[in-house]
Structures are given as C-alpha cells and as structure tokens.
Structure 1
Amino acid sequence: MSVITLPHGLRIDLQESGAPDGAALVLVHELGTDPRLWAGVLAQLPPELRVLSLALRGHGRSEVPAPPYAMGALVRDVEALLDHMGLGDTVLAGLGLGGMVAQGLAVKRLDQVRALVLSGTAAKLGRPELWQRRAALALEGGMEAVAEELLPRWTGRKTPLEAATQMRAMLLDCPAQGYAGGAMAIAGTDFYTPTSGLRLPVLGLAGSEDYETPPDLQRETVELIPGARFELLRGAGHLACLEQPEGFAGALTQFLREIGHL
C-alpha cells in the first residue's frame, strides 16, 4: 500500500499485489467505496497477474479536493498514474463510477488499455438531477444519509449480511466531499457516442438483482462495442464483486485467458 503523488500534484492511494512483472490488471472502484471492494476477488485471481487497485480522488486514502469533480479529471488521474508506473496494455476493470472512468480512459488512451471489464456501470447513469441531489445529500446530511438511500438499491434478496455490512462501512468511511465530487462527475457524463466507437475486448458482468444499475442498462452499454460479451451473476446485487467474489473472479480470469492476457 502506498500513496503516490502524481505529476499534477494529486496524491493517490495505490495497492499492488501479485507478480511485479506480470500482465497488469487495474481495478477501479464504485463511487462511495474504496479498494476494499475488491478484497475477495483479489484472493481468487491467478498469482501471475500484477494487480493494481487504486482509490479515486476523494476516496480511501487518496487526496480529497473540494468538489465538484469533472469526469475528465478522474480519467486524467488514472492516466497519469499508469504513465507514472510505466504501464501500458493493461486490462481495466471498473465498477460504477470506476467503469465510467475506465470507458473514458479507453477512449483517450488505447495504448494504456487493451481490454475492459465493466460491472454495475453504463455509458450514462441516470439523470443529472439524481446525482446532483445525492451530492447535496452527502454535503448536507452526511454519509449516513447517503447509506440509508443507497443500501436498499445496492443489495439483493440474497446479499449476505457480511457483504451488506462491508458496503455500509465503506460508505460511512467515504469523505462526503469526495462522494459529492464523484456524483457531480457522473451527473455531467454521457459516454454513449465515445464508447460506441471503442474497438477492444470487453466483458460486462452484472448482478441479476442490481437495482442501482439494472442489468438491461448495463447490457445496452456493453453491446455498443462490437464483439463485447455480457454475463449475469445470478442473485448478486450492485456490488457483484463483493457479494460473489469467486464467481466474479472466475469470469474475469476466463476472460483474461481468452484475450491472451494470462
């Protein structure tokens, strides 16, 4: 675990595991969470991978600038981090906000991104008014209020109590300014046109009981990219990687083998 200062001055929390010289997999978390989201998946991945899990600005141990944030700034943060690490030809796996950042980086820097794994995300997530309201809720009511709204939308009928507890803990640990900034970035983003121009391997992984980002919305985005594949994780909610880490890691690993990244 380390905090890296990027060339433009922002401090980013980065966690690395696996083989230092292995093919790189970069994990980008959902709004309101942090790298703990991927803990169960990390334990199931092949050891020959080099896995980098970062905390977006405003999250985890990363710096918390004052909101609003622009999606372009979040993309630039990850771009600068990969340049700083000397990494190209990575596979980016993103959930929610992280999936939007992954799409944006793939559009901007195909030299950095050879494939995408998208979960709980879309090219456009709801109406701007929803995210503006959630940003205001975080700033005025605190993350307890945000958790009360989001947890019923993040969990499914079969969500384990331990997973729901972890979700709540991450939300409560997230700085309100960081959450608000990320929400404002989502409010201003529509990637339908740029994402539809992508030509690279893509795997979509959706929880069948994702009420926050319904599977059909996720499928619509994945199918914008020719040749992309879409899979459902039955019984999982919005944070499918947290609820079903073995199933998520298994599908991810199979995809990496199919595209020759392993």
Structure 2
Amino acid sequence: MLMADLGDIRLNYQLHGDPEGPPLVLIHALGTDLRLWDKILPLLPRGLRVLRYSLRGHGLSDAPNPPYPMGTLVRDAERLMEHVGMRDALVVGLSIGGLVAQGLAVKRLDLVRALVLSNTAAKIGTAEIWRQRIALIEDKGLEAIADATLERWFPKPFRQTDEALAWRHMVTRTPRHGYVGCAHAIAGTDFYTPTSGLRLPVLAIAGSEDGSTPPDLVRETAELVPGSRFHLIRGAGHLPCVDKPADYAEALTAFIHETGHLAA
C-alpha cells in the first residue's frame, strides 16, 4: 500500500516485478482503480518493473474538488513516474487512461518509448454527452449511471456473473468528486492533432463488444500514428483485461517483445 505525496495530490500506487527491469506503466479507466489490472499481472512476462496507480479521485488516491483538467491528470502521471524513477516506459492506458497516456507521450517523450492505447480514442464522446452525465451524477449520484455503464462495459454473458456485481460496486463507490472531476477532463479533451504528431510504437486494442469506445473509433485513433498496429479482441467489452484477460495479456506480451522492450 504505497502513497506518493506529490505536493498537491497523494496518489495510491503499487510496484511489481523486477526493480531493475524495463518499466511498464498501467493507467486505468474512469470509475475503476488500480485493481483493473489484477487479472493480467500474473500473465505478464517476468523481468518487467510494473507501476500501476489510481487516478486522482479514484481508489485510495485523493479526491479533490472537480473539475480536473486533462493536463493535471497527465502531470500526475509524469510526476509519479519521476517519483518512482521511471523513464523510457511502455505505457498502457485504457479509456481515460489512454487519453492520459497520449498526453504523456506528447508532453514527455523521454518518459514514454511505446504506447498501448486500449479501448480509447483521441476524443471520447462529446462535451454535451459528458455534460448530461455529470448533471445526472450531481443530481442523483453514481447509482443513476451504474447499470448503463455496465451495459457499455461488458457483454451480456459477463454482466450475468457475480463478478459483474463487484464492478458495479466499484463504479458506485468511486468518490463522486473523482468521477465528475475526470468526466470534465474527458469532456474537454481532443487529442486528434497532438496524437497525429507522435512517432513511436503504438498498439491499439479494442473489444468487439465495447459500447464505450467501439472498435472503429479505436482503429481511427491508431491510424493517426504511422506504423501503429490495431488488435481486436473478439467477444470482449470495454475492459478486456477483465473479461478476456488471457487474450489481453497475450496481445500485450507480444507487443512488449516486438518493440524490444523485453528480450524474448
């Protein structure tokens, strides 16, 4: 249970693997926390130094008053990597985590040598959609969006499992300040131009049943970066590291080796 005091924010993080290994950074989705990656950690190749953390407003990290600009979330990631002594990392970002990863690569290419943009896009939704969701949460709480969120996140068979209930609880127990703060960040972010200027290895991962960032949207973002690769996980939803962890870890491991980040 590690807490990084970065001055204006305290972030909960965990380190795994080889302290001397090549760094891998995992950035989670809105309404989840660092536990999003629980299933894939045991499936990753040995020898990596893995950092995962909870975004501000999520998990055990501080939840200051909203809104949170996307630049602040990027700065949190930047300062946390410096705090633990990481650079030249392979950064994996899922959903809002993918937006943070794009912003980090644009700002600090010295910290990022390769990107996995998972179930994300250069722009997610519209400002109006996010304004309506924020208004609903502020009026009725996160319970009001929980069922619709799970429908976008998971295929129907997974939603009928006991595990899906745990993910519903994770959404509803996210601090309201944190969810709304990060929703403002997404609403105000359009990375089409900055991401199109990136020149580094990129793997984009999509789930065929993703109701939040459909495969065509993920593919469109991948195509902004020359030489990027697109990988579709069939039967997976918005969080394929949860409902298809073996397939997800296989794709991620192949990319880790292909980029030379870790010797095969």
Q: Structure 2-normalised TM-score?
A: 0.96
Residue 192 of structure 2: aligned partner: 192
Residue 22 of structure 1: aligned partner: 21
Residue 87 of structure 1: aligned partner: 86
Residue 216 of structure 1: aligned partner: 216
Residue 133 of structure 2: aligned partner: 134
Residue 163 of structure 1 deviates from its aligned partner by 4.2
Paired residues, what number? 261
The residue type equivalent to 1:256 in the other structure is I
What pairs up with 1:42-53 in 2 under 5 angstroms? 42-53=41-52
**Unpaired runs of at least 5, structure 2:** none
1:46-79 Cα shifts (integer Å, max 9, x gaps): 1211111110000000000100110000000000
The answer to whether 1:145 aligns with 2:144 is yes
Q: 1: distance between equivalents of 2:215 and 2:247?
A: 17
Identity of aligned residues (%): 57
Out of 162-171 and 9-18, give the one that drifted further: 162-171
Q: 2: distance between equivalents of 1:96 and 1:221?
A: 12
Residue 193 of structure 1 deviates from its aligned partner by 0.1
What pairs up with 1:96-175 in 2 under 5 angstroms? 96-159=95-158, 161-175=161-175
The residue type equivalent to 2:166 in the other structure is Q
Q: 1: distance between equivalents of 2:140 and 2:63?
A: 18
Equivalent residues of 1:158, 1:235 under 8 A apart:
no
Residue 63 of structure 2: aligned partner: 64
SS in 2 for 1:159: helix
SS in 2 for 1:84: helix
**Unpaired runs of at least 5, structure 1:** none
Equivalent residues of 2:4, 2:83 under 8 A apart:
no
Q: 2: distance between equivalents of 1:165 and 1:204?
A: 28
Residue 75 of structure 1: aligned partner: 74
Equivalent residues of 1:93, 1:118 under 8 A apart:
yes
Q: 1: distance between equivalents of 2:176 and 2:135?
A: 10
Q: 2: distance between equivalents of 1:49 and 1:90?
A: 10
SS in 2 for 1:230: strand
Out of 99-108 and 141-150, give the one that drifted further: 141-150
Q: 2: distance between equivalents of 1:27 and 1:83?
A: 15
The residue type equivalent to 2:202 in the other structure is V
SS in 1 for 2:26: strand
Q: 2: distance between equivalents of 1:134 and 1:149?
A: 11
Q: Structure 1-normalised TM-score?
A: 0.97
Out of 252-261 and 77-86, give the one that drifted further: 77-86
What pairs up with 1:213-252 in 2 under 5 angstroms? 213-252=213-252
Q: 2: distance between equivalents of 1:147 and 1:43?
A: 29
RMSD after superposition = 1.1
Residue 39 of structure 1: aligned partner: 38
Q: 2: distance between equivalents of 1:51 and 1:141?
A: 37
